[in-house]
Structure 1
Amino acid sequence: MNKISNNDFLALTRANEYFLTPFSIDHPQCDIDILATGVIYFCPKNIIDNQRKKAIVISCAIHGNETAPIEICNDIISDLLSNNINLQHPTLFIFGNPPAINIGERFVEENLNRLFSGMRSSDNNDYDPTLNKERVRAAELEKLVTEFYQKHPDAERTHYDLHTAIRDSAHEKFAVYPFIHGKPWHKEQFEIVRSMGVTTFLLMQKPATTFSYYSSNIHGAHSFTIELGKVRPFGENDQTKFAASKQTIINLISGQEVDIHQFDASNYQFMSVHKEVVKHNDSFKLTFSDDVANFTAFNQGDVFAIEDDVEIKADTNGEAIVFPNANVANGQRAMLTVIPVNIDNNLV
């Protein structure tokens, strides 16, 4: 197949869930290349010399059942193909896990967002990159992102990995800022993400195997995992809740800048990871129900989880839960707890 019917890139992706022969598309304003199934590259044919140069990655469907970001990206891709958006920056769109999209699940065999960078490092002798298709896909996505950034060596690198969460959240939209190894936080990036309707930021304190940490750590990109709401099936997303996120992405790739002078720390809730709770065996269980929202705060001494009859408790009042999931594989993170933090002294 060497065309996109009705400018529907998602349909093309779903029809070729594991493999698609790369091809190019004729377009009056952009160079367009389908690089692999679910991966499409746009580059404006005439980049203004004095314009600030950015290389932008927008990814979604790293978990296949997180449909709202998929719909957002597919709409924008369709508008680009139809020449309804004036693209100013090279942009790579990624639908991360097409087979999982087709079955409406987070993943097929293994959580793709636990398979980047550190998971496949040279000192991880137990890692078999051929064990399943998700591991093969993680390697392919890393390669494609690397090649994209290498095509634009002088451009500022950004990566926004769009998700929706398994459960409700006390803050409907929030973002994960990957561990940046002591480098300063960027006011401009906070303002960009705030324009998506996100004011709560979870600041990670250690390396991770997520897609956003990979781009940040390996390529020096301004990178975020952005949670835009709750997981829902295709057709059940309230598009009005995602309008700001969609418009922000359009503004970004169209070269519209945010006003950094608008930054005011009081507009935000900054949270730092206090503890990472790992599930070691099948005795692990959470002590609260599935309808308890992300960022629900607990009091000192409250029990979050139990494993091997050992209670895992809150260390301090106001310690809140994020991403609790007792159904992860043994050895994987089952929950984070977070506490408020002040970052005024490390901002640029």
Structure 2
Amino acid sequence: MKGSRLDEFLELSRQYPWHLAPFTELLADGTRAEVWDTGVLCLEAASPGARDIVISCGIHGNETAPIELCERLLQQLVSGSLKCRQRLLLIFGNPAAMNAGVRELEENLNRLFSGAHAGGQSRERQRAAALEGYVSRFFEARAGTERLHYDLHTAIRPSLHEKFAVYPFTHGAPYRRSQLAFLQAAGVNTVLLSQGPTSTFSYFSAHEFGAHAFTLELGKVRPFGENDPARVKAMTDCLAALVSTPGWQPPAVDLSRMRVFDVSQEIIKQSSHFRLNFSKDVPNFTPFEPGALLATDGERHWCVQSSEEAVVFPNAGVAVGQRAALMVTPVRLSETQLI
């Protein structure tokens, strides 16, 4: 769409990182594009299908591959090379942190949802509250649809399984074959099952609105311009199909090709004395032998408790009170856990 301000929506959001005055444009295919705020764009297809889709990225400002993926997707929709056939909320989460080239400015935005932003006034807390409001506004606009939220990230460390998904706690509800099929088609064959409520963006959508929601790790953090689009092509293609083709379904999931992990331990940093007992270069999903010392915090020690545990998201630099690592063990999903 020639002359559209949406052509440079990400640039505009970064120019006004904390507030962007709302405006509306009509795309060539009849889609109504509504800018709700900086980094928040709602696309209302003229005759939408039965899916309401949230795609978010940049919740951490230095996780650039998903940001570039979403910008390419938006450019296709604005140019008309990709038709919008669903309702879509596209979110670039933390433009100010993008500008600074950092994960966060004051606090980890992905630990501030489901009301966790209350009790403070940091910019990230204000942003979390605003994003909750925009997601609520989007999902509450109609009922009876399939609600989806894919929150795209990249990890601080390399990973033995480059791409993986965190499946938010379902409160006893079965896991969805259709969503595992989407992940597999999108190049994600490793899934980590969350075992309790969290304050992440994806859990917020899952718990508050019954959305099929995931935190998706799509590789390692790299600077803008240093990401290979080919490495996320399968994810890009599947998201494009979801948005542009009502009724699109991925091929059936092959569970024999899915690696599934359960959380065995959550290591919480309790003081400034906290230390991880392994190298900063250890990749995600590195296994440790039984009894191995994992971390210390003064007199507190964490050791491997199962026959074998692997580490995910180790980060000794988190704030006191936050998770410094997850320890996980491989599991198999039974038929009773699936629908």
- How many angstroms does 1:250 deviate by? 0.3
1:123 match: none
Q: Aligned pair count?
A: 334
Aligned positions of 1:55-74 closer than 5 A: 55-74=52-71
- Tell me if 1:275 matches 2:276: no
1:163 match: 153
Between the aligned partners of 2:43 and 2:296, the Cα distance in structure 1 is: 49
1:36 match: 37
Deviations 1:127-165 (A, max 9, x none): 424x11100100100000001011122211000000000
Between the aligned partners of 2:284 and 2:47, the Cα distance in structure 1 is: 44
Contact 1:4 1:12 in 2 (8 A): no
Deviations 1:293-345 (A, max 9, x none): 00001111001111104321000222000000000000101000001112222
Q: TM (normalized to structure 2)? A: 0.96
2:89 counterpart SS class: strand
Contact 1:298 1:317 in 2 (8 A): no
2:114 match: 117
1:258 match: 249
Deviations 1:111-139 (A, max 9, x none): 0000000525xxxxxx424x111001001
1:221 match: 211
Between the aligned partners of 2:87 and 2:208, the Cα distance in structure 1 is: 19
* Residue type at the aligned position of 1:170: L
Give the % identical residues.
Answer: 45
- How many angstroms does 1:4 deviate by? 4.9
Between the aligned partners of 2:288 and 2:151, the Cα distance in structure 1 is: 29
Q: TM (normalized to structure 1)? A: 0.93
Between the aligned partners of 1:116 and 1:324, the Cα distance in structure 2 is: 21
* Residue type at the aligned position of 2:18: Y
- How many angstroms does 1:5 deviate by? 4.4
1:77 match: 74
- Tell me if 1:87 matches 2:84: yes
* Residue type at the aligned position of 1:292: V
Contact 2:115 2:129 in 1 (8 A): no
Structure 1 stretch displaced more, 265-274 or 5-14: 5-14
User: Gaps (5+ residues) in structure 2?
Assistant: none
Contact 2:292 2:304 in 1 (8 A): yes
1:184 match: 174
Between the aligned partners of 1:289 and 1:276, the Cα distance in structure 2 is: 19
Between the aligned partners of 1:145 and 1:194, the Cα distance in structure 2 is: 26
Between the aligned partners of 1:115 and 1:331, the Cα distance in structure 2 is: 13
- Tell me if 1:18 matches 2:9: no
2:33 counterpart SS class: strand
Q: Runs in 1 of length 4+ with deviation above 6 angstroms?
A: none
- How many angstroms does 1:105 deviate by? 0.4
Deviations 1:2-44 (A, max 9, x none): x854712211111111110000012232011000000011111
